[in-house]
Amino acid sequence: MRLFSAVSALAALAMSATATFAADRPELRIGSVVAMTGPASALGLPEKNAIDLLQERLANDTSLPFTVKFITYDDGSDPTKAVNNVRKLITEDQVHVVICCTTTPTSMAILETVTQAKVPNISLALGQSVIEPASERRWIFKTPSTDQLQVTGLVDDMVKRGVKKVAFLGLEDSFGEGGWIAMQSVAKAKGVDIVASERFSRTDTNFTPQALKVRQSNPDAVYIHAIPPSSALVHQALKRVGYTGPIYHSGGSANNAFISIGKQDVEGALVGTTPVLVYTDMPDSNPLKPVIAKFAALYEKRFNVPKVDIFPGQSWDAVNITLRAAEDAVKAGVNFADVPAARAMLRDKIEGVKEFVGVGGIFNYSPTDHLGLDKRSTFISVVKNGEFRLYESK
């Protein structure tokens, strides 16, 4: 009898414990819209993979003071679909935070929707216009680096080498235009003259004329803002016309296609890059190294890829920043059931995230900076023996 009462008491205790435990752990809902299909799917699928990976890991994790529910939709790389899906997340699924979207056009399309609904959004797009000016983009944050930041890193290195005159070569599309705008403002700020600005397109069959023009402007360094194949082909054309100075590339060239097309001609190319590509070469003292190494090991094992690229890290960081903000919100006594109030508080807490070490860099958000990254998060890699190696700026 005593045994029975003891057991039943224990059972009751256990039951109440689970009950209070469940009540203690409210539900945080994170909605994401990424491009799983369409032209941007090469970026969107890895992003979704990283979210899935985090979801699997959180399923059995009881250390967080809340449970996390993930809702993920596809936008097919289409702005209209992105807007519809974000609306659905906000009104039907009642999410607290939105992570959207993969590309700059889709991210621009949803600005209005999230701002009116007062829902914090973390974008995975490259474009700086998504988050600037921060006063108008109160609810929007982003994790990937920007052209401005990368170009600044490269121009700093040029200045250290004593470069006075730089020539710009860029794609004649929105990507190239972004690089041109960044280059103009950075060069002006750092006192470097732009002596030539030449354009080409991905479908061009000959890049030598532009290379000739650049060589004749007699620059101390050349900056190429393009993606392979054209970035590698322009590099080859510069070599062909006898240009021997340093050649810098945007992050668009930080991939294997660049080396497999350019081969020995691109040896010595200086490529702006995010930490993920070169973390193995970093000194152990760099706080980014262990974070990236852990993420890379997890991702590579789960999805069976030889080497993780930059895209999954962007959504991984977005979710982790959300979790950090949610933890802070819980400490501040947030009530996740009161969705509008919780959204507002989460926004404030995301903006308050400081020194967060992610895969893409060290984030310090503030009311005037919704990118949160600084110089510590941009790196230059150099092509050496057909591989990208970390380049130490002198």
DSSP code per residue over 311-326: HHHHHHHHHHHHHHHH
Q: Which of residues 11-50 bind other proteins (CB under 8 A)?
A: 39, 42
CA 176 to chain centre: 18
How many residues does this entry show for the chain? 394
Of residues 66, 141, 200, 311, which one binds other proteins by CB under 8 A? 200
Q: Which of residues 202-231 bind other proteins (CB under 8 A)?
A: 202-206, 208-210, 212-213, 216, 228-229
**Which residue, 18 or 201, is less far from other proteins as judged by CB?**
201
Burial of 115 (0-12, 13-18, 19+ CB in 10 A): middle
What distance in Å separates the CA atoms of residue 212 and residue 145, rounded to the nearest whole number? 32
Which helix (H) or strand (E) segment holds residue 235: the answer is helix 230-240
**Which residue, 39 or 367, is less far from other proteins as judged by CB?**
39
Burial of 24 (0-12, 13-18, 19+ CB in 10 A): exposed
Q: Which of residues 319-338 bind other proteins (CB under 8 A)?
A: none
**Which residue, 63 or 385, is less far from other proteins as judged by CB?**
385
Closest CA to 204 of 172, 247, 238: 172
**CB 62 to other proteins: min, Å:** 42
**Which residue, 144 or 228, is less far from other proteins as judged by CB?**
228
Of residues 57, 160, 188, 240, which one binds other proteins by CB under 8 A? 240
Stretch that binds other proteins, among 88-96, 117-125, 200-208, 246-254 (CB under 8 A): 200-208
Query: Is position 386 an interface residue for other proteins (rule: CB under 8 A)?
Result: no
Stretch that binds other proteins, among 28-36, 92-100, 140-148, 198-206 (CB under 8 A): 198-206
Burial of 348 (0-12, 13-18, 19+ CB in 10 A): middle
DSSP code per residue over 104-156: HHHHHHTHHHHHHHT--EEE----GGGT-STTT-TTEEE-S--HHHHHHHHHH
Size of the site for other proteins (CB under 8 A): 27
Helix then strand then coil, % of the chain, to nearest 5: 50, 20, 30
Stretch that binds other proteins, among 20-28, 181-189, 195-203, 328-336 (CB under 8 A): 195-203
Binding mask 141-180 for other proteins (x = CB under 8 A): -------------------------------x--------
**CB 125 to other proteins: min, Å:** 18
Which residue bears the tokens 């599309």? Answer: 173
Q: What is the DSSP letter of 338?
A: S
What distance in Å separates the CA atoms of residue 48 and residue 54, rounded to the nearest whole number? 10
Q: Which of residues 250-279 bind other proteins (CB under 8 A)?
A: 257, 260-261, 263
**CB 204 to other proteins: min, Å:** 8
What distance in Å separates the CA atoms of residue 35 and residue 179, rounded to the nearest whole number? 23
Q: What is the DSSP letter of 25?
A: S
**CB 383 to other proteins: min, Å:** 15
Which residue bears the tokens 């996390």? Answer: 68
Binding site for other proteins (CB under 8 A): 39, 42, 172, 198-206, 208-210, 212-213, 216, 228-229, 233, 240-241, 257, 260-261, 263
